[in-house]
Each structure stands twice: as C-alpha cells, then as structure tokens.
Structure 1
Amino acid sequence: MKSQNLKFLRISSLLAFILIPLGGLTTDIYIPSLPAMAQQLSVSVESVQLSLLIFMISSGLSQLFIGSILDSFGRYKINIVALVLFSLSSFIIAMVPNIYLIYAMRVIQGITVSLIIVGKRAFFVDMYTGHALKNYTSLFSIVWATAPIVAPFIGGYLQQLFGWESNFYLLGILTAIVLFFELKYTGESLKNFQPFNWVNISKVYKTMLSTPDFSLGLLIIGFTYSLLVIYGMVSPFIIEKVYGYSSVETGYSSLLSGVSLMSGGIISKSLLNKPLFTKLNTAIAIQLIVAVAMLLTSISATSIWVLIGFTVPIHLMSGFIFNNVYAYSLQRFTHNAGTASGLTGGSIYVISSVVGYGLINTLSIKSVHALSAVNLGIVALLLMVIVAFKHYVKARIA
C-alpha cells in the first residue's frame, strides 16, 4: 500500500511539473506568429500584442485572489474543471479566428491557467517538507523556463507549416491528454482546509503584502520577467520586419532566450547553499555591465547578432535572479501556501505585463537600440529594488 501511494505521489508530482510551465507555453508558443496573425486577422500589430497582455493581466489578477479559494476548497476538482475549460477555449480560438473572440477566450485561459498553476505550486508545499520542499521549489523556475525554450521553437515551425491556428490546436490537445492522466492518477493534496472567511483572508493578504521583504521580492521577480516579456513582444517584429528573417528564426531567437533563462535557474540551483546576496549582487552587476555594453554597441551596430548576443547574458542573469528570489518568496509563508503561491505568480504577470506593454506602447520599441535602452532602465531599477530587499531581509534575520 505504501509503495502504491509513493507511485501515485511520483506521478502526481510529474504531472504538476508538466503543468507549471502552462502559463509561459500559452503566451510563448504563438510569439513567432504575431506578424502573421496581424496580417490574416486584418488588425494592427498592437491589437495582436494586446491578446498577450489580456492573458497576462487576467492570469495575474486572478492569481492574486484564487490562492485563498484553493486553500479553502482544495486543489483537485478546481484543477479538473480548469483543464476542461482551457482545452475548450484553445480549440475555439483555433476554429473561430476573430480577434474579439480571441480576447474573450484569452481571459478564460488566463483565469484557468491561474487555477491550474497556483494549485500545482501549492501541491508541493502540501506534500513535501524540509530539504525536499526546498529542492522542489528551487526547480520551479527551471521547469517553468521550459516554456520559453520549447514553445517559440515549436511555434515557429507550426506557423511555417500549418499557420497560427495550429498553435492553439496543440494547446488544446496537450491539456486534454494531461486531463486524462490527472483523472486517472491524482487526487486532493490539501490536508488542512482553511475556512473561507473574507475577513481572515483579507488579513492574510494584508500581512503578506505589508511584509517588506516579501513585497520587494515580488517586485524583483516581476521586473526580472518583464525583460523577457518585452523581448518576446518586440523581437518578432525586429527580426522579421527589420531584418527580414522568417518566423523560424524568431523561434530560434526565443529558444536562445529561453535556454538562457533556464540556464540561469540551473546555475542558481547548483549554488543553492551559497549566501543569497552574494549571488544576487554578482548577478545584477553582470547584468548591468552587459546592458550598458548593449546600449553602446547598438549605436553603431544593429545586426541580429547584436540583438541575440547581448540578450543571452541578460536573460541568463534574469533566470539566476528570478530563481533565487522566487524560491525565497514561495517559502516565506508556508502556512498559507496557496495564497503565497497566488500572490507570487500573479505578481509576475501583473508587474511584467504592465511594465512591458506600457513601455512598448509608450516608447515604440522597434529597434535594437531602443530595446537596449529599455533593458538598461529596467536593470537599473532592479538594482535599486535588490538593495532595498537586502536591507529588509537582513533586518528580519537579525
């Protein structure tokens, strides 16, 4: 009986890791298709980019609040319903290519993805403790980074061979397959259900958000991820419209960005026992130097290799910083794992989408030089937040 339970735990853990990157997969898989979608749907580039923002905002905002629902009503049944709705919405987008219907379905996908991934992150806190929990949470951003690696690479080829609709058919099929295994092998992981009381829940949120090291940690991971969001939204148009390459090259570019993000997370995990701020100080210093070098180089050189060559180390350090602070934030409030997971995940999307989309539309980032200037500004802001984060973490420990 014990071995049977261990088997189900391992399968449930594997399925959880498969679903954790779903948010990134849902955005990144059709990044190489953005120019083609704008053309085929007869809408502006900004209208297609808005579908990314709508997903990220709906996912981010819902993650801020659904953690308490998951802590009160459990993970399993909500996860099953969310998988069904997500799969159906993906097929609808593919079969009825209307920009306004796409917007509506992206709202549904944002909410359902939030329910899925917040529940799956909380699953590990439900089922593991001590070193095992620390090990798994340090893997989250590494696993999550598989989406920026795999999704645009696959999406670029799907766009080239079958058109943009094939991206959403694939999302619908994949989640339907996972749904089958969820029904067969998983169950409820929450052991201690929290009473659903708005007064108590609001106190939990107030406590978390008024904790300086936690709230500053949310800003760090949000700003860090915004560097990838901005690159993902503007690089297809720079690569395909400015330099004349195809969606396949855009996919390879995003593949390198994703590999950099994941590599940063892997390096971070290998240095798990090193002092936190020794790691953060080194990473932000490297990122700042590279961002300055990119800005100076892009004044006279504007080839695709300048774009990719400097983006790789910037995103490598983003993955490194993200992994360290993300793991710290998830473990900050273990007694309210769903709420902490929701706030952490939601903040990533809300902060990065607002910063990313806001800067793109305000500054009209259509060249490598403009992108490098934005990168430098965000890195400088990130440095200031890390300094404040360090102060409050040390004050807490003392």
Structure 2
Amino acid sequence: MLKEASEKRIRLITIMAFVSIPLSGFVTDIYLPSFPSMAKEMQVSEKDIQITLTSYLLSYGISQLFVGGILDSIGRYRPKLIALFLLIISSILITMTDSILLICLLRILQGAAVSVLVVATRAIFVDLYDSEKVKHYLSYFTIVWSCGPILAPFLGGYLEKLFNWHANFHFLALYAGILFLFEWFFSGESLPERKKLNLSENISLYKMMLKNRIFMLGIFILGLSYSIVMLFNITGPFIIENTFRFTPVVIGYCTLILGFSWMIGGFIGKRRLKLDFKERILQPVILQLILITGLIITSIYAESLFIMIPFAFFIHICSGILFTSFFTTSMLYFPKNAGTAGGLMGGLVYVITSVTSFIISMSGTVTEQGDLAWRYLAIAIILLGIILVMHQAVKKEKAEN
C-alpha cells in the first residue's frame, strides 16, 4: 500500500505521475503531421484517416463516464498496468497493418486505455495527499497536460520526416513501455479502501445532472470550443502539405504554434473569470466570429500559410478563453459531486468533439484555406447560439432566486 511508502518513493511516484499526464495528448496528436502520408501509403481518402482520430476521441470520451466508479471499486494499480500494456501492444499492431478498420478498432482500444490512465493518475493524488496538497498539485494538471498537444505534433513532424508514420506509434509504445516498467517496479496500489460499485446511485446522479439545463449548455459550449481546435488538427495537415506544398515538419511547427495559442487563451480566460457574463463570454465569441469572417474575406483574394496560421492563432485563443471560462464554472456547479460531474463533463466534451469531427470528415474534402474558414464559421455560429440561450437561462435563474 503506497500510503505506507517512504517519502522518497512517494515523491518519485508523484514525478512519474506528472510525466504520464501528457501521454493522452501524445496519443491524440503525435500522428497529425502524418495524415497526408498515411492516406497516400494506404491509398485511402482523407476522411478515412480522420476517422481514426474520431474513433479514439469517441472511445476516450465514453470511457471516462464509467472508469471512475470502476477504479474506486477495484483499485488503480492493476488497471493502470493493463491499460499501459494494451497501449504498448495496440501501438505496435497499428504499425503492422494497412487496414483502416483495424486501426480504428485499435484506436478505440487506445481511447479506453488512456481514459483509465488519466482517471487513475488524477485519483492517485487524492489517495496520497491531503486536500491542500491535492489542490496544489491539481492546479498544475492543465499546464502539464497541454505539453502533450503542444509538443506531440512538433515531434511527430520530425519522426515523419526522418522515418515514416509508423515511427509515431513506435514512440507511443516506447513512452508507454517506460511508464509500464516504472509502475511494475516502483509503484503500487494507492487506494486505501475499495468502495462498492453502486451503479444505481451513479445513474441517478447522471440523470440529475443531465436534466440541469445550464450545466448541459456549458458542456456543449466546451465541446464546440474544443471542436474549433480539432477542426484544424484534422484538416490543417492536408491543406499545408497537399495545397501549400510544405513538409510534415512545417505541419508540426504550425500545430506547435497553435498549441501555444490554446494555452494563452487558457491563461487569459483564467484572468477574466471575475468579469460578468457579457464581458467574459460574449466578447471572445464575437471577436472569434469577426476573425473568422476576416479569414473568409481574405481567402477570396489570397491563400497562404502565412495568412491562415495567424488567423487560426487568434481564433484558437478565443476558443481557449471560452473553454477555460466554462470549464471552471461547470466544475463548480455541483460542488458536492465534483468527481462525478467532472467525469460526466470530460466524457461528454470528447463525445461532442468526436461527433463534430466525424461530421467535418463526412462534409467533404478540405483542400483550401477557405474550406477551413467556412467550417470554422459554422461551428462558431452554433456556439454563439448556444451561448445566447445560456445567457437567457442564467438571467432567468437569477430572477427566480
């Protein structure tokens, strides 16, 4: 039992827990620069490659809805070892096949495995530390997690250039392998007391939360805000390589830049939390619509990587602001059931993102800057509509209270 472990061992486990956090971002984003080359090598369409990402996101989202209760019942250690082992095996198998169907099935398996790792890692801090230290460590989670989406495509671009798309999944197998060996030799069970899995209680809580209009609208806003970022991730590589004729390394650099834009948006959103609804929420979404309109108009006269990326940079900052604002308020909406609310929220956000990604993939080939801009506009308009509905719901709730 880790509760009885030495301070040195617990410190080491804490460090490795933080090392494991970016893995989810790497599994999602490392192979983005390889999308075009995967499509060419496998002789499949762009949407087939994009669906491999959608499969992962959907599995990752749905799994988070159930994983928390299971880990509270059976513990963290063995599920984490199994998840890492499955991640190693699935990553190696992906490099050995040219079947898109099999890759999608393996990505579904990876989504479930990574959800176990993420929830178990988060729970370890709660198991080992008192409430004040937990708050201290958890405050770094978002920053550490963001290293994955920022660094993964950058690294993936170089792996693609130096080797091929298979190297991305070899890297994931190596990353998971190192974590597996550490867990096997140094870690252990952190759960002090197993809880009986109460499905009826969890279902009742979910029903209560799903009926809360403001909470659910907030989740849709989170999902659509992240979908704007994911839109570039699944279409940008094809535009950059096939239309603008740049290399996968350039794709990696572009995604690196846009990863920083999401982080900047998060910091700005955190500083704006005390503002009222109009300033905090309506200003960023209106600015985002203005920027998207500017990109559409500019695309009529000129298409260039040096036009598309600056516009996308500020569009993604606006999404980061919105995401941070609603993530914070939604997490605090059910303070007595924060764990369940967090699991439901995290799961549904990825489900919404995966559905949006699937619709984008099926909406036609995105080959030009203008195609990207019009899809940005469609998501942003829906986002504005939901925000306006939520604004009215918040005003009504305040009036009733």
In the alignment, structure 1 residue 55 sits paired with structure 2 residue 59: no
Identify if the C-alpha distance between structure 1 residues 273 and 361 changes in structure 2 by more than 3 Å, giving closer, same or farther: closer
AA at the equivalent of 1:87: I
SS in 2 for 1:244: coil
Give the equivalent residue in structure 2 for 1:290. 291
Identify if the C-alpha distance between structure 1 residues 194 and 282 changes in structure 2 by more than 3 Å, giving closer, same or farther: farther
Residues 292-351 of structure 1 deviation map (CA, whole Å, 9 limit, x = unaligned): 222222221211122101000111122222223223334444555553333222222211
Identify if the C-alpha distance between structure 1 residues 3 and 313 changes in structure 2 by more than 3 Å, giving closer, same or farther: farther
Give the equivalent residue in structure 1 for 2:206. 205
Equivalent-residue separation in structure 2 for 1:97 and 1:150 (angstroms): 26
SS in 2 for 1:145: helix
How far is the alpha carbon of 1:60 from its aligned partner? 1.5
Identify if the C-alpha distance between structure 1 residues 87 and 336 changes in structure 2 by more than 3 Å, giving closer, same or farther: farther
* TM-score (ref. length: structure 2): 0.88
Q: More displaced, 11-20 or 296-305?
A: 11-20
In the alignment, structure 1 residue 265 sits paired with structure 2 residue 263: no
Identify if the C-alpha distance between structure 1 residues 331 and 189 changes in structure 2 by more than 3 Å, giving closer, same or farther: farther
Identify if the C-alpha distance between structure 1 residues 342 and 267 changes in structure 2 by more than 3 Å, giving closer, same or farther: same
Give the equivalent residue in structure 1 for 2:101. 100
Identify if the C-alpha distance between structure 1 residues 293 and 6 changes in structure 2 by more than 3 Å, giving closer, same or farther: farther
Q: More displaced, 133-142 or 197-206?
A: 133-142
Q: More displaced, 148-157 or 204-213?
A: 204-213
Q: Would the aligned equivalents of 1:298 and 1:369 in 2 still touch at CA under 8 Å?
A: yes
Equivalent-residue separation in structure 2 for 1:80 and 1:334 (angstroms): 31
AA at the equivalent of 1:246: T
Q: How many residues align structurally?
A: 397
Q: More displaced, 87-96 or 1-10?
A: 1-10
Equivalent-residue separation in structure 2 for 1:263 and 1:382 (angstroms): 20
Q: More displaced, 134-143 or 341-350?
A: 134-143
Give the equivalent residue in structure 2 for 1:274. 274
Give the equivalent residue in structure 1 for 2:243. 242
How far is the alpha carbon of 1:253 from its aligned partner? 1.1
Give the equivalent residue in structure 2 for 1:86. 87
Equivalent-residue separation in structure 1 for 2:124 and 2:326 (angstroms): 20
Equivalent-residue separation in structure 1 for 2:143 and 2:285 (angstroms): 19
How far is the alpha carbon of 1:247 from its aligned partner? 0.9
How far is the alpha carbon of 1:12 from its aligned partner? 3.9
Q: More displaced, 381-390 or 365-374?
A: 381-390
Q: Which consecutive unaligned segments of at least 5 residues does structure 2 have? A: none
AA at the equivalent of 1:215: M
Residues 354-391 of structure 1 deviation map (CA, whole Å, 9 limit, x = unaligned): 11220232244322112112212222222232344455
AA at the equivalent of 2:268: I
Equivalent-residue separation in structure 2 for 1:89 and 1:192 (angstroms): 32
Q: Would the aligned equivalents of 1:60 and 1:345 in 2 still touch at CA under 8 Å?
A: yes
* TM-score (ref. length: structure 1): 0.89
Identify if the C-alpha distance between structure 1 residues 188 and 339 changes in structure 2 by more than 3 Å, giving closer, same or farther: farther
How far is the alpha carbon of 1:136 from its aligned partner? 4.9
Q: Would the aligned equivalents of 1:276 and 1:324 in 2 still touch at CA under 8 Å?
A: no
**Percentage identity across paired residues of the two chains:** 39
How far is the alpha carbon of 1:150 from its aligned partner? 0.5
AA at the equivalent of 1:283: P
Equivalent-residue separation in structure 2 for 1:52 and 1:358 (angstroms): 13
Give the equivalent residue in structure 2 for 1:163. 164
Q: Would the aligned equivalents of 1:141 and 1:262 in 2 still touch at CA under 8 Å?
A: no
Residues 190-228 of structure 1 deviation map (CA, whole Å, 9 limit, x = unaligned): 456443122222112112222233222211111011111
Q: Would the aligned equivalents of 1:71 and 1:336 in 2 still touch at CA under 8 Å?
A: no
Deviating above 6 A after TM superposition, structure 1's stretches of 4 or more consecutive aligned residues are 1-4, 128-131
Q: Would the aligned equivalents of 2:273 and 2:325 in 1 still touch at CA under 8 Å?
A: no
AA at the equivalent of 1:92: L
Give the equivalent residue in structure 2 for 1:379. 380
Q: More displaced, 172-181 or 91-100?
A: 91-100
Residues 43-95 of structure 1 deviation map (CA, whole Å, 9 limit, x = unaligned): 22222222111111121222222232223333332122111111121122123
Q: More displaced, 143-152 or 324-333?
A: 324-333
How far is the alpha carbon of 1:123 from its aligned partner? 4.1
Q: Would the aligned equivalents of 2:87 and 2:176 in 1 still touch at CA under 8 Å?
A: yes
Q: Cα RMSD between the aligned structures?
A: 2.9
